[in-house]
Chain A
């Protein structure tokens, strides 16, 4: 038996990364388009219960590679195993969710296979018979179209959030588990994993906040944070921040919103001086009402905001504060 569309599952300690289901949704939609079936592959040590769980995710098969060398994630282990899986199954497409882990090993796998990976795609579309993969360049300001030529395997990773895991179709028959007994003897693991740990303990749980004022690079310097705190006070909001603001120490790390920080969905999200890099957007796009203030009219934040003000934020914010106080 071989596989048409292979989706690579991501797990840690037997717990599935939710973005894997987004990649399955991408696979299912692509499969419908192309008349092809979807299979999942999971790598690890002692993952039989995870494999069982995956059979209900609307895929035809769940392939597993269970090996001591895969107990911890390493790029050598994952790329080495997947290279063999792909050689044996010869899928037309191999799909990933573009997580930090995938960023670490998928390009290595691509090089081993000498098959290009089109990374961090936001969608695909049909152009006649051609399947076009769309990815963003210039930090989300411009889209770029790519196609594959010739036979697969074609490697594609999709941006986290590009597909909605709620659209997973699970109505079909449960998939079958197939344990691939491939040999990892020739795969040398050069990376020694010493520890996997959670960084700063989050002291502020922004996910429970009703209103958040988040500040970005546009506030320019640490002294200007005070004005933003006044705005937050006037709104009765918590302070949030984009990554550069926390990197520079203007606000503590536990205020960071985005892929490396917290995911929030307040009723009101005020994005001040935030351009809207995807790493930030994934952490706040489900907010109720989004207000963006930025001097760059082309900033991607305006694509997801409800209300936008294109202006010098240092002129507008004091006026917003006094208008709030008056009302």
Chain B
């Protein structure tokens, strides 16, 4: 089974984010990056499927040069090779354009299964995987918790709200978006890190994808992104200050006398 895993690099959780002067993005210079959380689980799912059924795991990522770091991590964990769309000259928030780029790379591969994370921890649109499926003409299931491969099809358990689940069967090839936390994520071994050095990372340019500059032009997009800003606070907690013993005493006093919860 050939599996393509889409992975994105995002600023590490808990990063102190500062918005750029033009309000278009966050200041990247001091940020550290990591693999998007649910993409970790997408990769883990792919590696487990490969261990059970054989085949190949190919990482697909889009981003500037720094995403090589994420790719290397994935290869060290056991992915076989990687595709990198370097979008430094055409970064966009337009999901259709980003899906077009990813789809063009996937179409060159004839995969049995395409996996993505549920959503990214930066923009968090939660749409790219599903749009990609439609673009590729593949059936999909989102928010997937379990996968059972059968002959020519897969059975998956997908999450609905409030603790409900749906069990569905999809013909292959298919696309799945993977929920965080569905398995234990492995660490790369020293051997894995050594082996990763020999694995192929293929950089794809627009022309490699059969696309031209007009294909990544978002000026005609009907959804316009304007600006980022720190949310206006509707409420702000009363912050208690002092040493631990002092704040603890203040808190208990307030809970008793102001909030009257005791």
Interface positions of A (Cβ within 8 A of B): 73-76, 79, 99-101, 103-108, 110-112, 114-120, 132, 136-150, 154, 190-200, 202, 211, 243-244, 247-248, 259-261, 263, 267-268, 275, 288-292, 296, 298, 302-311, 315-316, 318-320, 322-324, 327
- B233 — which chain A residues lie within 8 A by C-beta? 303
The answer on a CB contact under 8 Å between B124 and A192 is no
Q: Is the CB of A322 within 8 A of B17?
A: no
Residues of B within 8 A of A143 (CB): 228-231
Given contacts A288-B259, A291-B251, A327-B262, 13 further A-B contacts (CB under 8 A): A104-B130, A108-B130, A137-B122, A142-B231, A194-B155, A291-B255, A302-B236, A303-B235, A303-B237, A308-B239, A310-B239, A323-B249, A324-B252
Q: Does B99 contact A (CB under 8 A)?
A: yes
Determine if A138 and B126 form an interchain contact, defined as CB atoms under 8 angstroms apart: no
Of the candidates A103, A302, A324, the one whose C-beta lies within 8 Å of that of B126 is A103
B252 and chain A: residue at smallest CB distance: A323
| B102 to A: closest C-beta gap in Å | 13
B238 at interface, CB cutoff 8 A: yes
> Given the complex of chains A and B, what is the CA–CA distance between A296 and B252 in angstroms?
22
Residue of chain B at shortest CB distance from A319: B248
Q: How far is the CA of A141 from the CA of B142 in the complex (A)?
A: 25
How distant is B115 from chain A, measured CB to nearest CB, in Å?
16
State whether A268 and B259 are in contact (beta carbons under 8 Å apart), knowing that A116-B221, A323-B252 are contacts in the complex.
Answer: yes
Would you call B248 and A320 a contact (CB within 8 A)? yes
CA distance A292 to B239 in the complex (A): 9
Query: Is the beta-carbon distance between B161 and A100 smaller than 8 angstroms?
Result: yes
Contact B130 A199 (CB under 8 A): no
Residues of the B chain whose Cβ atoms lie less than 8 Å from the Cβ of A154:
222
Measured between alpha carbons, how far is A304 from B236 in the docked complex, in Å? 7
Contact in complex: B255, A319 (CB < 8 Å): no
Q: Which residue of A lies closest to B19 (CB)?
A: A142
Q: Which residues of B contact A318 (CB under 8 A)?
A: 244
Cα-based distance from A143 to B23 in the complex (angstroms): 11
Distance A106 CA – B140 CA, assembled complex (angstroms): 13
Return chain B residues, CB-CB under 8 Å to A79: 134
Q: Total A-B pairs in contact (CB under 8 Å)?
A: 245
Nearest opposing residue in chain B for A143, CB measure: B231
Complex CA gap A110/B130 in Å reads 10
Assembly CA distance A76 to B161 (angstroms): 20
Q: Are A107 and B130 in contact (CB under 8 A)?
A: yes
Residues of B75-132 contacting chain A, CB below 8 A: 94-96, 99, 121-131
A316's partner among B227, B235, B247 (CB-CB below 8 A) is B247
**Which residues in B have some Cβ–Cβ distance to A below 8 Å?**
11, 13-14, 16-17, 19, 26, 94-96, 99, 121-131, 133-135, 139-143, 155, 158-171, 180-181, 221-231, 233-240, 244-245, 247-249, 251-252, 254-256, 259, 261-262
A222 to chain B: closest CB distance in Å? 13
B252 touches A327 (CB 8 A): yes
Q: Is the CB of A309 within 8 A of B247?
A: yes
Contacts of A248 in B (CB 8 A): 181
Alpha-carbon gap, A108 to B141, bound state (A)? 11
CB atoms of A116 and B222 under 8 A apart: yes
A199 contacts B248, C-beta separation under 8 Å = no
* B124 near A136: Cβ-Cβ < 8 Å: yes
B240 — nearest CB in chain A belongs to which residue? A309
B167 touches A197 (CB 8 A): yes
CA–CA, A290 to B101, complex, Å?
A: 45
Query: Which residue of chain B has the shortest Cβ distance to A111 in the bound complex?
Result: B134
Q: List chain A residues, Cβ under 8 A from B225.
A: 144-146
Q: Are B167 and A195 touching (Cβ within 8 A)?
A: yes
From B128, B134, B227, B239, give the contact of A144 (CB < 8 A).
B227
Interface contact A307-B254, CB-CB below 8 Å: yes
Q: Inside 8 A of A267's CB, which chain B residues have their CB?
A: 261
Q: Which residues of B contact A296 (CB under 8 A)?
A: 14
Q: Which residues of A contact B227 (CB under 8 A)?
A: 144-145
Most A CB within 10 A of own CB, among B16, B19, B222, B233: B222
Quick check: A308 and B238 within 8 Å, CB to CB? yes
Do A309 and B230 touch across chains, with their CB atoms under 8 A apart? no
| Residue of B128, B180, B240 with most chain A CB atoms under a 10 A cut-off | B240
Q: What distance in Å separates the Cβ of B27 from its nearest Cβ neighbour in chain A?
A: 12
Write 21 A-B pairs (CB below 8 A) sorted by A numbering: A75-B140, A105-B130, A108-B133, A110-B127, A116-B222, A142-B231, A147-B223, A191-B170, A193-B167, A194-B167, A194-B168, A199-B163, A243-B181, A261-B162, A288-B259, A298-B17, A303-B233, A307-B240, A309-B240, A319-B248, A320-B252
